[in-house]
Chain A
């Protein structure tokens, strides 16, 4: 049975030269590298390209693949394990590439004795980072059985996410890596519909009416710990940032919350509002296009 998935993953024809394959792989790696292009789709493409390149860049493996298709490595006494790594989602997925476990597999003949640190990545909701939460981390851990084969076992760890953690911060779980090594968990924040995170500060786009911006006064605004009244100065500008000190992420040094004003017109003016605007147009000389020379 013929399989062409690896060629498709790299976007090359079946008779592509070794140079074409290398070029195609490098281009895919650049474009879909998880550190360059975050997201599950790019990640899947990056992994598929890596798996394809691992096979197609080796003349022997490529010949076997061309002949036997996806099962090319089945009859071998020690199957190459690289293809089994897809879906080890709790590893830091950016670390999954053909080289990742080379050191590990190089030693698969005997039991490993060397402690090795492991890295994983955990995405948490902004609210959980602010209040603290307990998360369950699923790890796929390679194990060598008595006959020397590597299998994946799922291990779950309950993990306390400390209150006030910032994106990019690392948690160390002592002794939870391989053979007594440590497990490091990098915290990432899931995208939030309301707040944008910059370091320890939070930003929220706050819509205001033209008259709220002009007159100033109190408006309700959300904060992660509940809504508050925000005092808007009179003559507020579009895009103006107002700072709420200490309302950002509750790290050791508290972050701030910034409200960015966005002036929004009502979708349809009532006749009364139209009359008021007409009066304003007559009595308020203002040319916002003066610096355009018109």
Chain B
């Protein structure tokens, strides 16, 4: 375990994740991701599940949803509302900050 690892590892920028990749990324199962999509929490590119691709904004949202559901005991509809309200609040806060309020 202690052996030295390379200090400059290979770094990839993640452009998109497929359904199965996002499932692993969120440490969850495919049904959970599909429920998120059905509630509009995340929106994949492409129509049918086998070809779904999730962009970085949606990857970040899915992980946030997973954390909030786990930590606060929310259901998917609840987390969808919370994420929408947080985004609105953050957008307003950014605007206020630049107006010097």
Whether chains A and B associate is yes
Contact B57 A168 (CB under 8 A): yes
From B28-36, B43-51, B60-68, the one touching the partner chain is B60-68
Contact A169 B5 (CB under 8 A): no
Known A30-B72, A168-B60; judge A117-B25 contact (CB<8 A): yes
Residues of A within 8 A of B9 (CB): 157, 173-176, 183
Contact A176 B5 (CB under 8 A): yes
Contact B8 A169 (CB under 8 A): no
Q: Does B59 contact A (CB under 8 A)?
A: yes
Query: Closest chain B residue to A178 by CB distance?
Result: B1
Query: Closest chain A residue to B86 by CB distance?
Result: A36
Query: Closest chain B residue to A161 by CB distance?
Result: B11
Contact B25 A29 (CB under 8 A): no
Contact A158 B7 (CB under 8 A): yes
Contact B11 A35 (CB under 8 A): no
Contact A170 B24 (CB under 8 A): no
Q: A35-B86, A95-B67, A169-B14 are in contact. List 8 more A-B contacts (CB 8 A).
A: A33-B67, A35-B64, A94-B64, A97-B70, A170-B13, A171-B12, A197-B94, A205-B98
Q: Which residues of A are interface residues toward B (Cβ below 8 A)? A: 26, 29-30, 33, 35-36, 94-95, 97, 99, 117, 119, 143-144, 155-160, 162, 165-166, 168-176, 183-184, 186, 191, 196-199, 203-205, 260, 262
29 A-B pairs in the complex with CB atoms less than 8 angstroms apart: A29-B72, A30-B72, A35-B64, A35-B68, A36-B82, A117-B24, A117-B25, A119-B63, A143-B1, A143-B2, A156-B7, A157-B7, A158-B8, A166-B56, A168-B59, A169-B14, A170-B13, A170-B14, A171-B12, A172-B13, A172-B14, A175-B5, A175-B9, A176-B5, A191-B97, A196-B95, A198-B94, A205-B98, A205-B100
